[in-house]
């Protein structure tokens, strides 16, 4: 069995294709827009997940597996956003510790 390495979050990049456009902006504007779009996209996924849960509870949606997929997608998206936030915060703290 061959072990394959992680390929720099390629799967998450495919989940958030609109955010790759922000690379052409300036550093400050691009980062702010990236985080804003990330939070917005994760919020939309969370809302869709909540709607699918409500649909299942009310009997409108009878496919439990689709609801579970939506819930897991929302959870993974939130974890991804949290990790991006943590890495950005660590990078900021590292820059602040640098001596001039």
Question: What angle (nearest 5°) sits at the alpha carbon of residue 88, between those of residues 87 and 90?
Answer: 65
- The answer to the question of residue 40 being in a domain is no
1-59 residue pLDDT tens:
566 655 555 555 666 666 555 555 566 677 889 889 999 999 999 999 999 999 999 99
Residues 6+ apart with CB under 8 A from 48: 70, 74
Number of domains in the chain: 1
- The answer to the question of residue 54 being in a domain is no
Range of the domain at 70: 62-95
29-43 residue pLDDT tens:
778 898 899 999 999
């Amino acid at each position: 069995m061959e072990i394959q390495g992680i390929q720099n979050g390629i799967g998450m990049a495919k989940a958030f294709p609109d955010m790759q456009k922000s690379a052409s902006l300036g550093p400050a504007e691009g980062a702010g827009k990236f985080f804003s779009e990330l939070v917005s996209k994760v919020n939309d996924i969370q809302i869709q997940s909540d709607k699918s849960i409500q649909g299942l509870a009310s009997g409108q949606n009878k496919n439990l597996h689709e609801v579970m997929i939506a819930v897991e997608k929302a959870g993974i998206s939130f974890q991804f956003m949290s990790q991006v936030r943590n890495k950005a915060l660590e990078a900021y703290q590292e820059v602040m510790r640098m001596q001039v």
